[in-house]
Amino acid sequence: MNVNQSAPPVPPFGQPQPVYPGYHQSSYGGQPGSTAPPTHYGAYNGPVPGYQETLAPGVSRAPPSLGAPPATTAQTPCGQAAYGQFGQGDVQNGPSSTVQMQRLSGSQPFGSAPLAPVVSQPTVLQPYGPLPTSSQVTAQLAGMQISGAMAPAPPTLGLGYGPPTSLASASGSFPNSGLYGSYSQGQAPPLSQTQGHPGAQPPQRSAPPQASSFTPPASGGPRMPSMSGPLLPGQGFGGPPVSQPNHVSSPPPQVLPPGTQMTGPPGPPPPMHSSQQPGYQLQQNGSFGPGRGPQPNYGSPYPGAPTFGSQPGPPQPLPPKRLDPDAIPSPQLNELPPQQKTRHRIDPDAIPSPIQVIEDDRNNRGSEPFVTGVRGQVPPLVTTNFLVKDQGNASPRYIRCTSYNIPCTSDMAKQAQVPLAAVIKPLARLPPEEASPYVVDHGESGPLRCNRCKAYMCPFMQFIEGGRRFQCCFCSCINDVPPQYFQHLDHTGKRVDAYDRPELSLGSYEFLATVDYCKNNKFPSPPAFIFMIDVSYNAIRSGLVRLLCEELKSLLDCLPREGRAEESAIRVGFVTYNKVLHFYNVKSSLAQPQMMVVSDVADMFVPLLDGFLVNVNESRAVITSLLDQIPEMFADTRETETVFAPVIQAGMEALKAAECAGKLFLFHTSLPIAEAPGKLKNRDDRKLINTDKEKTLFQPQTGAYQTLAKECVAQGCCVDLFLFPNQYVDVATLCVVPQLTGGSVYKYACFQVENDQERFLSDLRRDVQKVVGFDAVMRVRTSTGIRAVDFFGAFYMSNTTDVELAGLDGDKTVTVEFKHDDRLNEESGALLQCALLYTSCAGQRRLRIHNLALNCCTQLADLYRNCETDTLINYMAKFAYRGVLNSPVKTVRDALITQCAQILACYRKNCASPSSAGQLILPECMKLLPVYLNCVLKSDVLQPGAEVTTDDRAYVRQLVTSMDVAETNVFFYPRLLPLTKSPIESTTEPPAVRASEERLSDGDIYLLENGLNLFLWVGASVQQGVVQSLFSVSSFSQITSGLSILPVLDNPLSKKVRGLVDSLRAQRSRYMKLIVVKQEDKLEMLFKHFLVEDKSLSGGASYVDFLCHMHKEIRQLLS
Amino acid sequence: MATYLEFIQQNEERDGVRFSWNVWPSSRLEATRMVVPLACLLTPLRERPDLPPVQYEPVLCSRPTCKAILNPLCQVDYRAKLWACNFCFQRNQFPPAYTGISEVNQPAELMPQFSTIEYVIQRGPQSPLIFLYVVDTCLEEDDLQALKESLQMSLSLLPPDALVGLITFGRMVQVHELSCEGISKSFVFRGTKDLTAKQIQDMLGLTTPAMPMQQARPQEHPFVSSRFLQPIQKIDMNLTDLLGELQRDPWPVTQGKRPLRSTGVALSIAVGLLEGTFPNTGARIMLFTGGPPTQGPGMVVGDELKVPIRSWHDIEKDNARFMKKATKHYEMLANRAATNGHCIDIYACALDQTGLLEMKCCANLTGGHMVMGDSFNTSLFKQTFQRIFSKDFNGNFRMAFGATLEVKTSRELKIAGAVGPCVSLNVKGPCVSENELGVGGTSQWKICGLDPTSTLGIYFEVVNQHNAPIPQGGRGAIQFVTQYQHSSTQRRIRVTTVARNWADAQSHLRHIEAAFDQEAAAVLMARLGVFRAESEEGPDVLRWLDRQLIRLCQKFGQYNKEDPTSFRLSDSFSLYPQFMFHLRRSPFLQVFNNSPDESSYYRHHFARQDLTQSLIMIQPILYSYSFHGPPEPVLLDSSSILADRILLMDTFFQIVIYLGETIAQWRKAGYQDMPEYENFKHLLQAPLDDAQEILQARFPMPRYINTEHGGSQARFLLSKVNPSQTHNNLYTWGQILL
């Protein structure tokens, strides 16, 4: 939409036009009160209202004020400050801006761009400072404008400046743009403005008056694209009706006036508001439209907003006064000092906020079930809790797409550069409210399939000739309906029994496979689990072996079972190893287990058959005896060397000998340096980082493991690896087999029973108990026109179409990329059918089918309106993480940035309303793309910090490969939850805040989680009572840093926090160990690493900086 | 010739030596004309209750190439305290300890009655006996159970300080660790992969980095080998339990398949294990197998039942796919074991063949036992096995280990070779002949396992030239030096020194003729024949034997041309042709009606038994029992089969009691139970008692067959007797048979 996404967002929201008025209000009324989160917004609102009000009056004032005082005063200070800080560099983008700004003008990459904006912003802020005195509103406006002004000023000062500014101004003249711009830079969305800023500002000046009405929206908009929405409402409220009207209406009117000057920018907003302009921005908006949801959110945020204001600290008073300009100013005044520091930055609140988007979606779409009947619907975000009703398409829990509307031609697709991909999780677990797929038994004839393309019967198949034949929806082949399957059609051409048959009415269902679908034409036997335990010195000393053996005794009762089966069909076996392997005969008839040592590791084999894999209940006594004895037997071992490949080989051979599929649980501690196949050497070399050879760190040392993995896959032997390294173990190589066999890897560095017991046991329990499909083959069929061309995930492929998975559990995801090989048809859309053939844990062979129909479009705007950023990021991260195997990391990063820029540039060029080049306009659906992408770029794999080990990187790389959308979402953009903000009584999760240090208040406590880590951050000035009730110590200083368990205390806060921790853990597939971090403590570095909107120590850009950079890239592409 | 017979017998009793010729032809030319080579049967450890070993070390000739041991034949100068070696004529000083000797105070080794004397070496380590059981688990349940019991029983027979080890095999090979508590532990090896000794030791964790392989160092042993070879007193209970828990090989054997049996690898591991831990220490690897090796190195037959194991027919047609490779494998193992002084026993019990043909060298080259039976659950096996652990009058096992036999000759003689359970040590010397008979080219042989009856045939060549006659009254001398580890773990040396007169064959042919030992000659010729039969075609060997016999008769017989009835042989040769006749028919040279395994088995025993037993093997003994008098030996001829006789035949491998037609009918009628026919009862009992006596003494236990006229088992008798009466020449006999 508009540069300032804000604008677009607004409009989109507005778009609901019809709703609009009501919307705002309604939302307003309700929301303000309700929404706590809006705190941020609050601030917004605050200003906004101020703006609006001021606008009229302020306009005049502002300009003047701006003109005179700000420019000089503000600028100078700014400049100085900026400089000073700049020099320091990292501290703030803003500061440097001045300098950089100039460069920027020259067109600079990252820094410069951000800087530029920053500058403007800082200026803006400064203006605030001064302005506030007069009046907040003015201040803000002034700020806005000032920034503009400032910018202009600098230009005058700075050589480069001038021109861009002016230009920008021209383009961005629109208040929106202008305002946004100033924000936007920082805050991307608003106005592309970074440059626009300088330029924009001037325009603003001019515009301000006009825009006065505008400005507010602008301001609103700028703040947060998401915010913008809220702002509007807020405004509406505050000056509410007026403001809104202003907003809405104003834009148009303004448009006109601005139109003259800045038609472009204003344009966008108007459309949004006025549905009339639809074609134009409507579409875009349309996309927003969905975002519409936000409006309500906005509303809600709004209310929060007030609180928001409070967040900074003093703002609290604001909330009530949001609307009251005066009130606002005062806080600002108060804040002045702190602000000065930050003032050089772009206002982070003005750039698209993931939190807001998530919150909006949650509020809008969380309440009603998602019904899958309609083709091409974009499902709610992964962060939203929603129910799914399967009415013919697979639930988004099974399949999510980057876009639900596919370009009809490959040219379009190429132009847009939006990857077409589906993230498929075939065995996803469903919430208890949703039924798992029906199992269809077609008897001996097996499932009905198309004769040509072999697609399975699905709801999209077209029955013709009175039901005697059906036309395949994938390849159009006409097939006869077998007599036993015949059924009459009703008047609509539907089979009469359509609703009695899952395969004709549901998106997901299962077929019972016939013997033709089984290996060697024999029904499989129940799978087996083999526990393979490292008993070398390290494993014994750390207490791992004892712990594990103890746990296994009870865990063996919890093996996965099918349905309501009384006992699990799975058999178990045990192996221990160091340099040699020890197999155990635990046959039920033995009095004592027998140990069989195989030292021929070069040529591994299984020394026994009978008695190795046993039924737990039958052999319980022997197994217990074994598990008791293992820790004793090796208690005084001195063997430090281990083997690895032979262990896997042994497990695989054992399964082969038993003729079943199964899973190996490997518990391994060290680099396998003993003489054996798969022997590894320590090749960790940090010097390779950032060189062309860095990729070798991610590649396996030897090809032996690939070969081994291939054999494992052929046998249906899935490998789960638990690593307990004290030092480098070459995860990149060790993970090859788990990765290719669909297994999981867990890593517990420096494992110590006291500290890591809970985490390990929890992971182990979950891993052992989870339902797994074995010996699986997955195939994705598509309707003519597109084709699955690339696959990402933990699996093996021996040809280009079949995804072979030795094991597949409910956490594993396969990302599939599609490419055109023909034209698609808008009417028929595009179909996906994912068929997974697998063996259930009871040994039943089944086929699980997921179908999904997508829309096709001839207009790019449709594509952009139906995208899902989270999925996109999932794909891009996997793509990039695979890329590091073959290309230097830098190349991979650049490619990501380029692609992102291309996507956005294409949008800008083809879908957004004409606007100043200085504006950054993001599609509503993708407004989070930059922030998320930045997180990907900053991730350990692509930009390692000094403290990140090679193993960690390889580990993460491996993990991400099979993550689903929800996991990548939180992994790349961690959730940061304030704990003491919301009332203790509230049972819901507190609203998250953005992952940035400046969002942390030192009087508060926060939880941060990313799916792998969980931190509890304690501000230095947290109330003593809180400390007492949480930690049972009397003061902040007495809290143990690094604490991993919260004391169990009987008070509401403690209960609530612990409850929250538990519920967070329950949401994730891996146990997150809690780490308590105190503000200013040395552990805080670790914590800060996850504040992804900030600049990272390893050189990762801050959100604002990146946005600026992205804007610059886009501009380059467009020019 | 009673004198010669006595002389021979005396010599045999004293020295355990029997020569084919007791007066030696004095030149090479004459010797070759004698047809039967100058050779002897030597029983190195013949039991001599009257010969207590002396507790000091022998005195050696100081000439480095000679080193003969002081013996009664040496010239001694008591005053100068010098002695002259009777082999090289070197004059030697007596060692200081002998200062007190004089003509009246002779050391034992100088007394003529001590031509055989045994020394006990006091220095050097005493290593415990080692028994390593290698047990096949691919057995039927009954068999395995019986075997387990036998093995458990054997533990009680072992000396408490003996080291024992256990390896079991089937599809895999398991080396059991014997010292574990709780969980029983074993190392497992793939049955299809041959491993070098080094690999085996690595995998068993036997190699300690800084320990170079060297001669046995007893101190190190307990440490290094403690896991797999343990003193029986320590792990008696453990091992008994372990054996008790042994299960049949659990791998499924599908219809139409043989179980996969990794005998080759199991043996290889056993050899490797001992090689690494106890080189040059007496040890016994005891292989118990119930079928042919079917996989891995040393496999003899595939696992497809539809492909039968090789027969002689297949071998002649060169159709035995695995034979050569397997034989090579076992030969390699046998040689390694022999090098380290370990012997390998094979106890094969199965109805079908078990691959003894391929594995025979393991026992043959190392002096191990070979026992073949139908099942481990038979008294044949059980008693045979028990007998291995029998003890002599001193309470010591009748077994010796790691022996080296050295032969020294006086100058007119050279050593041509040996036939017996030995391997050549390849020690060349002046007394080694270039013409080989048996295992030649050496003057020393290694015999890893010996018992008091183990007998070698040793062949000599007279090298004295015809034109350099030996002075009248000259004597040739031979010294046999056997160093071995006694079962009491002492090292001992037994020295036998013999001498015979030379005679000029032209002038004293009668003399020589009279001193011919036809029994020894028959056995020695038979050994040569059997040795040849191992490598040559059967008919060639028979032809060779025939020719030798003809030449002998030509030389020593008296006859008129064209008159067969005029042929006469002197008494000392009279039985020889008969022996040859039965030898030709014996399973040692005839393979018809014998499987390759049986042939190997028979030949194995033939090559190591003493003269008496060997003769029984060549010509079974037949006794006849009747009311007419005491039992009498009768001709091994069909004419000896009479209705009113009971026959007892001893072929060494079988003992057959055969009731004549009438006797059988009487017994059927129950006369033996009637008091008035008690004599009949006694008659029936007599052969049984005699058979029992033989059974008690013999190793291995013969197959005991009690049959009667018309019984199916009577074939054992009928196949042995000389078919002088057949349907061709005795009508009635044929009728009777019908």
What is the spatial order of strands in the sheet that B39-42 belongs to?
B17-19, B39-42, B456-462, B413-419
Same domain, B454 and B364: no
Same domain, B657 and B549: no
pLDDT per residue as tens digits for the range A725-745: 999 999 999 999 999 999 999
Task: Name the CATH topology of A528-769.
Answer: Rossmann fold (3.40.50)
Q: What letter would DSSP give residue A698?
A: T
pLDDT at residue B729, rounded to an integer:
58
Q: In this complex, which of A592, A598, A603 lies closest to B188 when CB atoms are compared?
A: A598
With beta carbons less than 8 A apart as the criterion, state whether A649 and A714 touch.
no
Q: What is the mean pLDDT of residues B524-539?
A: 91
Task: Kindly indicate whether the domain formed by A445-507 is annotated with CATH number 2.30.30.380.
Answer: yes
Distance from CA of B265 to the nearest CA of A (A): 13
Closest residue, chain B, to A630 (C-alpha): B183
Q: Is the pLDDT of residue A298 over 60?
A: no
The more confident residue out of B586 and A1098 is B586
pLDDT per residue as tens digits for the range A950-996: 999 999 999 999 999 999 999 999 999 998 877 777 777 888 999 99
Question: Which residues on B lie below 8 Å from A595 (Cβ)?
Answer: 180, 183-186
pLDDT at residue A20, rounded to an integer:
34
With beta carbons less than 8 A apart as the criterion, state whether A273 and A285 touch.
no
pLDDT per residue as tens digits for the range A656-707: 989 999 999 999 999 999 989 999 999 988 888 888 888 888 999 999 999 9
B178 touching A (Cβ < 8 Å): no
Residue-range definition of the domain harbouring residue B340? 130-206+225-388
Dihedral of the CA atoms A860, A227, A298, A267 (nearest 10)?
-50
pLDDT per residue as tens digits for the range A208-259: 334 333 333 333 333 433 333 333 333 333 333 333 333 333 333 333 333 3
Q: What is the ipTM of this complex?
A: 0.84
The answer as to whether B474 is a domain residue is yes
Contacts 24+ apart (CB under 8 A), A618-622: A618/A588, A619/A586, A619/A587, A619/A588, A621/A588, A622/A586, A622/A587, A622/A588, A622/A590, A622/A591, A622/A592, A622/A593
Q: Is the pLDDT of residue A132 over 90?
A: no
Same domain, B309 and B421: no
pLDDT per residue as tens digits for the range B565-576: 899 999 899 999
Please give the C-alpha separations between residue B72 and each of A376, B83, B85, in angstroms, as whole numbers: 116, 11, 10
Q: Is the pLDDT of residue A61 over 60?
A: no
* Residue A916 binned pLDDT confidence (cut-offs 50, 70, 90): confident
pLDDT at residue A440, rounded to an integer:
92
Using the 3D structure, point to which of B503, B521, B555 is the last residue of a domain.
B503
Question: Which residues on B lie below 8 Å from A597 (Cβ)?
Answer: 177, 185-188
* Residue B50 binned pLDDT confidence (cut-offs 50, 70, 90): confident
Closest residue, chain B, to A623 (C-alpha): B183
pLDDT per residue as tens digits for the range A544-591: 999 999 999 999 998 998 877 788 889 999 999 999 999 999 999 888
Same domain, B378 and B277: yes
What's the CATH number where B424 sits? Answer: 2.60.40.1670
Closest residue, chain A, to B171 (C-alpha): A607
Is residue B700 reached through a cis peptide bond, with omega within 30 degrees of 0 on the bond before it?
yes
What is the average pLDDT score of chain B? 89
Residues 136-175 of B with CB under 8 A from A: 172, 174
What is the distance between the alpha carbons of residues A272 and B668, in angstroms, rounded to a whole number?
Answer: 123
Please state the domain count of chain B.
4
pLDDT at residue A1, rounded to an integer:
40
pLDDT at residue B4, rounded to an integer:
86
The answer as to whether B689 is a domain residue is yes
* Residue A278: partners with Cβ closer than 8 Å, 6 or more residues away: A271, A285, A286
The more confident residue out of A128 and A768 is A768
Q: What are residue B9's phi and psi, to 5 degrees?
A: -65, -40
Same domain, B609 and B624: no
* Residue A386 binned pLDDT confidence (cut-offs 50, 70, 90): very high
Same domain, B179 and B282: yes
A516 token code pair: 């033709």
% residues pLDDT > 90 (chain B): 62
What is the distance between the alpha carbons of residues A200 and A175, in angstroms, rounded to a whole number?
Answer: 8
A940 token code pair: 């350990």
The answer as to whether B167 is a domain residue is yes
Instruction: Work out the burial of residue A507: count CB atoms within 10 Å of its CB; fewer than 13 is exposed, 13-18 middle, 19 or more buried.
Output: buried
The answer as to whether B497 is a domain residue is yes
**pTM above the 0.90 mark?**
no
Q: Give the domain ranges of chain A.
A: 445-507, 528-769, 868-973, 974-1091
What is the distance between the alpha carbons of residues A1060 and A977, in angstroms, rounded to a whole number?
Answer: 10
Bridge partners, B41 (sequence order) = B18, B457
Same domain, B336 and B414: no
Question: Which residues on B lie below 8 Å from A584 (Cβ)?
Answer: 183
pLDDT at residue A176, rounded to an integer:
39
pLDDT per residue as tens digits for the range B438-481: 999 999 999 999 999 999 999 999 998 888 888 877 899 999 99
Q: Is the pLDDT of residue A265 over 70?
A: no
Same domain, B305 and B157: yes
Are the Cβ atoms of A607 and B250 closer than 8 angstroms? no
User: Superfamily assignment of A974-1091 in CATH?
Assistant: Severin (3.40.20.10)
What is the distance between the alpha carbons of residues B188 and B176, in angstroms, rounded to a whole number?
Answer: 9
The answer as to whether B88 is a domain residue is no
pLDDT at residue B727, rounded to an integer:
60
pLDDT at residue A327, rounded to an integer:
32
Number of A/B CB contacts below 8 angstroms equals 65
The answer as to whether B692 is a domain residue is yes
Distance from CA of B248 to the nearest CA of A (A): 11
The more confident residue out of A66 and B600 is B600
* Residue A147 binned pLDDT confidence (cut-offs 50, 70, 90): very low
* Residue A616 binned pLDDT confidence (cut-offs 50, 70, 90): very high
Q: Is the pLDDT of residue A31 over 60?
A: no
* Residue A290 binned pLDDT confidence (cut-offs 50, 70, 90): very low
In the CATH hierarchy, which top-level class contains the domain A868-973? mainly alpha
pLDDT at residue A95, rounded to an integer:
37
Q: What is the mean pLDDT of residues A1098-1116?
A: 89
Closest by alpha carbon to B356, among B598, B609, B653? B598
Q: Is the pLDDT of residue A320 over 70?
A: no
pLDDT at residue A224, rounded to an integer:
38
Q: Is the pLDDT of residue A1118 over 80?
A: yes
pLDDT at residue B726, rounded to an integer:
65
* Chain Cα centroid distance, residue A437: 27
The answer as to whether B62 is a domain residue is no
The DSSP bridge pattern shows strands B423-424 and B475-485 to be unpaired
The more confident residue out of A205 and B585 is B585
- Is A868-973's fold the same as A974-1091's? no
Q: Is the pLDDT of residue A25 over 60?
A: no
Using the 3D structure, point to which of B572, B595, B614 is the last residue of a domain.
B614
What is the distance between the alpha carbons of residues A660 and B113, in angstroms, rounded to a whole number?
Answer: 77
Q: Is the pLDDT of residue A23 over 60?
A: no
A851 token code pair: 């179908």
Same domain, B495 and B562: no
Of A301-315, A827-841, B113-127, B718-732, which range is least confident?
Answer: A301-315
What's the CATH number where B585 sits? Answer: 1.20.120.730
With beta carbons less than 8 A apart as the criterion, state whether A1077 and A1015 touch.
yes
Q: Which of A583, A584, A594, A659 to mutate to test the interface with B (most CBs of B within 10 A)?
A: A594
What is the average pLDDT score of chain A? 74
% residues pLDDT > 70 (chain A): 69
pLDDT at residue A208, rounded to an integer:
37
Please give the C-alpha separations between residue B415 and each of A786, B72, B474, B497, B500, in angstroms, as whole numbers: 92, 22, 19, 15, 16
pLDDT per residue as tens digits for the range B84-102: 999 988 999 999 888 888 8
A609 touching B (Cβ < 8 Å): yes
B242 touching A (Cβ < 8 Å): no
Q: What is the mean pLDDT of residues A6-10?
A: 37
Distance from CA of B665 to the nearest CA of A (A): 55
Same domain, B237 and B329: yes
Are the Cβ atoms of A633 and B183 closer than 8 angstroms? yes
pLDDT per residue as tens digits for the range A755-798: 899 999 999 999 999 989 999 999 999 999 999 999 999 999 98
Using the 3D structure, point to which of B356, B388, B420 is the last residue of a domain.
B388
A1092 touching B (Cβ < 8 Å): no
Are the Cβ atoms of A596 and B202 closer than 8 angstroms? no
B182 touching A (Cβ < 8 Å): yes
* Residue A1073: partners with Cβ closer than 8 Å, 6 or more residues away: A756, A758, A759, A1013, A1014, A1044
Same domain, B10 and B148: no
pLDDT at residue A345, rounded to an integer:
53
Crossing angle of the two packed helices A196-223 and A225-238, in degrees rounded to 10: 70
The answer as to whether B520 is a domain residue is no
Q: Is the pLDDT of residue A404 over 90?
A: yes
Same domain, B489 and B633: no
Are the Cβ atoms of A592 and B183 closer than 8 angstroms? yes
